[in-house]
Chains A and B, each alone.
Chain A
Amino acid sequence: GDSVTQMEGPVTLSEEAFLTINCTYTATGYPSLFWYVQYPGEGLQLLLKATKADDKGSNKGFEATYRKETTSFHLEKGSVQVSDSAVYFCALSARNTPLVFGKGTRLSVIA
């Protein structure tokens, strides 16, 4: 079945460091890909998405490019802030099926 694998955390970075969180997927066909963010004690919020190969999703300084050849959707940010501390989930949706999530990566940014 469809699945998402993302790097395990926790990831701890200093403020203004570069962030990469790896995500790869397995799916039949051409899924849509998403990154969701969960701040402490809250629900998930959509961070960005891409619906076809080579699309780049971006929001709040975060970017991810849909790479069909490597089945990847890595999340990047050039300069993280303390307020970016959260859990980040990679997810896919294929053939109008419910979203399938990765296990999440906890990011802690220290000043």
Chain B
Amino acid sequence: NAGVMQNPRHLVRRRGQEARLRCSPVKGHSHVYWYRQLPEEGLKFMVYLQKENIIDESGMPKERFSAEFPKEGPSILRIQQVVRGDSAAYFCASSPGTGANTGELFFGEGSRLTVL
């Protein structure tokens, strides 16, 4: 499967715990995006990364949330001290590098976080 791979698909955490969501982009894609989908709402952009760089984090909450895309390995979205309002589906998407980027994004199947 050469598509975007996200894991875990489902994650349950208690308030105050940490959640780590992983995303492996399409092979050869160097841009990764994270979106959050709250129940019955659209997708909200969170952060845009290239290898080892955060390009745009304008949609990311200032506290408790962080993202990385290391030189080796998957992109990680980390949520510290989770609260019930963090319950959502988190989608990762990837695209080719600039120049081959038509704006189309390739999405993973999402990680559904439930905070008890």
Q: Which residues of A contact B (CB under 8 A)?
A: 31-32, 34, 36, 41-46, 49, 51, 89, 93, 96-104
Contact = CB atoms under 8 A, between A and B. Distances in A.
Given A43-B108, A44-B91, A99 B42 contact: no
Nearest to A41: B109
B25 interface: no
Nearest to A92: B103
B98 A96 contact: yes
A28 B97 CA distance: 23
Contacts of A49: 102-104
Report which residue of A49, A99, A100, A101 has the largest number of chain B beta carbons within 10 angstroms of its beta carbon: A99
Interface string B19-49: 0000000000000010100000111110010
A76 to B, nearest CB: 21
Given A43-B91, A43-B109, A89 B43 contact: yes
B105 interface: yes
Contacts of A103: 41-42
